[in-house]
Amino acid sequence: MAATSLEKEIGHGNVGLIPWSAFSDVTEPVPELAWPQSVTTYSAMRTDAQIASLLLAFTLPIRRYGWYIAPNGARDEVVEDIANDLNLPIEGQEPKPTGRRRDRFSHDRHLFHALLMLTYGHMFFELVYRFDEVSKRFRLRKLAPRMPGSISEIQVARDGGLEYIRQYPSGVMPFGAQSRGAVYGAMQSPQIGVDRLVAYVNDQEAGNWLGASYLRALFKHFLRKDRLLRVDAINAERNGAGIPLAYAPPNATKDQINELAALARSYRAGESAGGALPNGADLRFRGVEGSLPDVLASIHYDDEMMAARFMGQFSRLGTSETGSYALSKTLVDFFTLAQEAVAKTYADTTNEHVIEDLVDVNWSIDENAPLLKFDTDTDKRYSVADLKLLIDAGALTPYPELEEWIRAEGDLPKPKDPPEEQNGEAGAAVGSSETPQSRQKMRVRNAMTVGGRTLRRNPLPFEVRASVDFDGMEQAWTTQRDSLVDQWKNGVKTAHVAALVEAIEAAESLEELAALEAPVLGEEVLSDAMFALSAEAGAAAVAEAAAQGVELDAFDSELVADEIVIRASAQATVMAGSISQSAAQKAITLAGTGLAYEEVANRVRDHLEGLSDSYLQDQLGGVLMQAQNSARRTVFDGAPDGGSIISSELLDGVTCTACKSIDGTEFESMEAATELYPSGGYWECLGGVRCRGTLVWIAPSETPASV
């Protein structure tokens, strides 16, 4: 057999068997999904919320991969040029400053466009170079996207290879095209040959350069879901408020019946709604009889099927009544593998048609070419919950280096040193000779317990010197809070619910339900509790000073009386507004189903009475913390000059990052401290009223302390 005969193909790899296949998809049986109509269809599909979230969830991690240039045996000069052109780091080297980005290639922007192959099945780019007079080489200026919607022709060779593409006319007439022939010529866009093209094709089979869109398998579910959403909207519109039916009086004439029918059809809710009926006539609203199809369940099913195409079933765990969280890791692994496969397809195409082309044009086809590679940057670190379990089980012992590593890995701020460590005058402000190392060791010991709960840390030296009875503060606050919550639930809240239910029963429109307003009650209950706790807190603050050798005047609650009364009134208003809003939202939701307002009132009562105590505990606990801190601040205002005011977040249940950063800060004066601790805890606390931060006072250093 002749050697030349072995080099010729007998068959062909072109899936387009019809001459016009370069202009139309002859393999897709669904017209909406046949190219070029498929581009319009997929563009519409990607606006669906579920599909948009799946595309983002699939592509964003790929864009976040650690992309770099691997030398692959290429010369340093070649590797550096390719890395510079693609704006990517070189494997094993520290990233260099990127410099100005104008007229430079952006890999992330290119990757974003290249991943559109998942949406449309294909994505073409035109290689555009610029000649560098300094290096005397062609540099990659850009990979210009040729969007799928602009492609008018894809010409494939007999062996299945790509020959060229052509685009629809741009709509811009060439300069100087005044003649009719020139205008007609502008309507025929030039061919973009394969030597200038980079084609990213998803799941390419033989000579099919259209690829397979990830959205192809979602089409029927998209259609169903779109129609079901319309049906659900129609159901809500037609059946949400009931159908008005007019009942004519006995012996009514045809004209009277027609007038009543017109009245029923014209009924609209609003301030001007109303009308008059003749004697014996009636106008009623009839709700849905029987049951409506569960449209939302069908929509939920379609969303699940869409997620399955992206191997994203794990994203649906917890949204249905069935399914095991134990499957999550396995499903995530499959999802990750699919992402890596797509990333590898992208890298292979870029290596072959971008990097090797650059090497060919600047050096030769025999020159070794570097490779585009990626690290998945899969986060295999332990979560905070995992570390806590390991520490609680005794399998891991906390130590300073571990905290430093966790902070570095999580990009967390370093702990703020106490003032005496910042200025090098250890012990000058708080009478402590603790070093940062000894303070760090103190942090990792088993934390103290107050009021039956374990704190995040032990007291620091300045808190010990201040002789603060944190256990006493905790127990006094907890006792008052629990008592106040009980009184509020059984007294004030009961009255609120009764008033709101009565208002709902008397309402005649949604506008009245939206304007529900409970009476402001409970100011006296609040102020009594705040006065009681402030008296205890003031006495404790005086005792702290005495333990440090400083005698202060006994605390007088009248000093904070005005503040307590104002805060009690304001808090009572907030609580009334909150329960009113909750009642209004529930009532409006229920009234839209056609229920009688009496039944709406009963269900709202059940809803309000079934609310958890967490809101009450937070709000009432916060106002009590304000009373506690106001008393302490008032006592320390009367302390002698020369002392120190320092913030303490020791009592926080879960300390946020803001409170951790302020913890242990020394202030120049009580006025400066009050700016950050104006009422209760730290004003920037992410937990709001749940902050348990407070201020402690340290006597002047020359005064002996009983510690």
Pick 132 or 406 by higher pLDDT.
132
pLDDT(178) > 80? no
Q: Which of 79, 69, 110, 111 is closest to 371 using CA atoms? A: 69
Question: In the beta sheet, which residues pair with residue 162?
Answer: 156
* Of 20-34, 189-203, 327-341, the least confident: 327-341
Instruction: State residue 427's pLDDT score.
Output: 37
* Residue 100's pLDDT band (cuts 50, 70, 90): low
* Residue 239's pLDDT band (cuts 50, 70, 90): low
Q: How far is 120 from 633, CA to CA, in rounded Å?
A: 66
Instruction: State residue 318's pLDDT score.
Output: 44
Q: How far is 280 from 270, CA to CA, in rounded Å?
A: 25
Q: Write out the two tokens for 343.
A: 């990333």
Instruction: State residue 17's pLDDT score.
Output: 60
pLDDT(316) > 60? no
Burial class (CB within 10 angstroms; exposed 0-12, middle 13-18, buried 19+) of 303: buried
pTM reported for the whole predicted model: 0.49
> pLDDT digit string (tens) for 600-624?
899 999 989 888 888 899 899 999 9
pLDDT(5) > 60? yes
CB atoms near residue 673 (< 10 Å): 20
What are the residue boundaries of the structural domains of the chain, listed by start?
19-236+294-377, 384-440, 441-698
Q: How far is 444 from 657, CA to CA, in rounded Å?
A: 18
Instruction: State residue 436's pLDDT score.
Output: 41
Q: Sheet harboring 162-167: ordered strands across?
A: 151-156, 162-167, 191-193
